[in-house]
Amino acid sequence: MRRTPKFEDCFAELIRLPTVSSIDPAHDLSNRGVIDALANWCDALGFTCEIIPVSDNPEKCNLIAKRGGDQSDSNSNAGLVLSGHTDTVPYDLSGWDTDPFTLTKKNDCYYGLGTADMKSFFPIILEALERLADTKFSNPITIVATADEESTMSGARLIQEQNKVAGRYCIIGEPTGLKPIYAHKGIIIEEIKILGRSGHSSDPNLGNSALEGMHDVISTLRAWRDDLQTEFINGDFQIPVPTMNFGRIHGGDSPNRICASCELSLDLRMLPGMNLEELNEKLRDKVRETLVASGLKVEFNAMFDGVPPMQTSRNSEIITLSEQLTNNASETVAFGTEGPFYNDMGIETVILGPGDIDVAHQPNEYLQINRIEPMINILSKLLNHFCGPK
């Protein structure tokens, strides 16, 4: 007998509940509805559920649901973790042909906000477990649902910090078109603000130009970028070197005034093997050194804590088995995930899910219906392989 609602009903319920996360408080919403629904369903399937607020705000939570194996042994490194984020990006209603919060079946696809990225993963997990109802699992199964992946990754950071999740392997069902992903780059987004002194343009001694200071900083960073791109090359990536994009600059207000303030935002993407914290420190040191004799002040404003690069060994069993089950060689992707946080905990992780990244973060996001059965199958086989009867 089924213990959770039908696949389509679970999916529709998760899509119906808005869980936008954004660093802009005007768009940021709770994920509690989705967490509570998942906890109820996991509970019905015999899981022990823990709902954990990720901050002082009880409306932003992670769910950790565990079943099977020896739960008293928190250091057990056996078993499989099935992980996904509950939040979506903000949406632009004017671009949608259907209601983003109504799961709509059309053209052999399910439309709705989060269908591909990545609410669909949860009803797929439930469906696989329903079908395996008679299996006596010997190793633990852990379902993790996180908050705020699309904004700060605070949910995954807390999972790592609290160390309550154990397992040998992890699968994260981000949209990869059913291809196993073993690596991605890391991301730093930094804002550099230089503060000088304004003055009449006719006499340079009257002020100190922040804009000229920024010019020097950009020259330094471009030279450093050249060095990084010579030192670090990884042919597994489509863009095989670290990148640094100067995406936004703003400074000054008038040609006849010395520029008192200039801001630059940049996006630095590092390869696996490059350390995010060290790189961020180096970046700041380079900027400070450049300005040291100028009398200009500098402030740094990280928009968020960055995403570390991820790399799971291609020889890891979670990767080789995923390759076999999907009939696809493992690949790298250009987007960041929660994977590196699990890898850091010693839980070897594959990113593998049914959606397509091309339709994620877009109006009319959809999931192709013919991806669902294969994904349920892949999960069932992974569960049997890693957790099934001895």
Active site residue 87: yes
Minimum gap (Å) between residue 117 Cβ and Zn ion: 4
Say how many Å lie between the first and final Cα of the chain, rounded: 25
Closest distance of CB 120 from Zn ion, Å: 11
Residue type, 122: F
Residues 6 or more apart from 139 whose CB is under 8 A from it?
68, 69, 78, 79, 80, 168, 386, 387
Chain residues in the site for Zn ion (CB under 5 A):
117-118, 174
Residue with tokens 């404003």: 301
Of residues 13 and 174, the one with the C-beta less far from Zn ion: 174
CB count, 10 Å around CB of 215? 13
* Distances 97 to 113, 145, 241, 363 between C-alpha atoms, Å: 12, 29, 39, 8
Residue nearest to Zn ion (CB): 117
Q: How far is the CB of 335 from Zn ion (least distance, A)?
A: 8
| Distance set, CA 269 to CA 95, 149, 184, 266, 375 (Å) | 30, 18, 10, 10, 30
Nearer to Zn ion, 114 or 213 (CB): 114
Full DSSP string of 264-314: EEEEEEE-TTS-HHHHHHHHHHHHHHHHTTTT-EEEEEESS--B--EE--T
The residue among 120 and 380 lying less far from Zn ion, judged by its C-beta, is: 120
Catalytic residue from among 13, 28, 87, 212: 87
- 149 included as an active-site residue: yes
Q: Out of 148, 149, 338, 356, which one is annotated catalytic? A: 149
Phi, psi of 107 (to 5 degrees): 50, 45
Q: Which of 15, 205, 208 is nearest to 99 (CA)?
A: 15
Q: How far is the CB of 174 from Zn ion (least distance, A)?
A: 5
| Residue closer to Zn ion, measured from CB, 216 or 305 | 305
Rounded least distance, CB 211 to Zn ion, Å: 38
The residue assigned the tokens 């932003």 is 60
How far apart CA 177 and CA 198 sit, in angstroms, is: 54
Q: Which residues are catalytic?
A: 87, 149
